[in-house]
Amino acid sequence: MDAYADVIVGASSAGGVLANRLLAAPRPVVGVPCRASLTMHRLFRDSPVPRYAQLADLLRQRIARGVWVQGAKLPTLEELMHEFDVARVTVRQAVNLLARDGLLSPQQGRGTFVTGRPTQDRWLRLETSLRDLADVYRGDKPKLTLIEESAATPVLRSGDGKPAPRYHFMRRVHSHNGEVYCVISIYLDERVFRMAPRRFRRETVVPALLDLPKVKIARARQTLTISTADVEVAGHLDIPVNGPVAEVRRVCTAPDDTVLYLGEVTYRGDYVHLEMDLKP
């Protein structure tokens, strides 16, 4: 039973037959069907992110997709309240949040209008070859912020290869134009790390690894999984808990099948762009 029915049932206990007639009468429909409203309600209820922030993100995505073009007038507060099953104050907070971002303009007596579009800064391409991936980072060096550095043993999966005697571990966040876009756990064969410790601490791993003449990489693999951010990752990436992320796992092995490098990277979902050529 939804919120509308809850109100009518309350009236039924107090008002008898009249309330029962109201309950049986067709309910008003504004905007979209109530089924969509219930779906949104469950989404909000299950997430720890404040409802107004979730609603603001939903509205932002509609603007980004062109559902509401620049200059378009948004549905009324009442229509948005009904569609998303939220209170008036929640809609106002979401609109005000987007107004501060320059995307909406609430105008008294006229409504709320779209005044901008979210930037799509998906500059990071997830290349499908090791050399191309290195070139991405050579062209734009991110800011690296160290979280942790120590000796640690990676958890290797079947098919990764055999472990090196010892690994150097670093966990850090990478930023581009002042905005964090990924958090990465790095496991480097200690022998490889000692060849260029300064570079590995100050640069992204893949270009530095490929520049070492004594290191031979026989095989390199990466897997990508679409997931959601936990509390720790959300804090590092400055995104809501359960926000979309791309988890990338990279493994480079030597000719003798020793794992030289394991990288476990979590990217913000709005920073990743993946292109692949499909064989005809």
Q: Quick one: DSSP state of residue 73?
A: B
Residue 257, number of CB atoms within 10 A of its CB: 11
CATH 1.10.10.10 intervals, the chain: 31-114
Pick the CATH number of 124-273 from 3.40.50.720, 3.40.50.620, 3.40.50.300, 3.40.1410.10: 3.40.1410.10
pLDDT band at 20 (very low <50, low <70, confident <90, very high): very low
CA torsion 214-218-224-228 (nearest 10°) is -40
Calculate ∠ Cα 136-201-224, nearest 5°: 45
Q: Where does the chain show beta strands of DSSP type E?
A: 104-107, 111-114, 124-125, 143-151, 167-176, 179-189, 219-228, 244-253, 259-268, 272-273
Among the listed ranges 9-13, 53-57, 212-216, which one has the minimum average pLDDT value? 9-13
Calculate ∠ Cα 259-226-136, nearest 5°: 60
CATH 3.40.1410.10 intervals, the chain: 124-273
Q: pTM value?
A: 0.64
pLDDT exceeds 90 at position 242:
no
The average pLDDT across 71-76 equals: 94
**Within 13 Å of residue 28, how many CA atoms lie on the same side as its CB?**
6
Residues 97, 53: contact at Cβ < 8 Å? yes
**31-114 has which CATH code?**
1.10.10.10
Q: Could you give the CA distance from residue 86 to residue 93 in angstroms, rounded to a whole number?
A: 11
Q: What is the mean pLDDT of the chain?
A: 80
194-220 pLDDT tens trace: 999 999 999 999 999 999 999 999 999
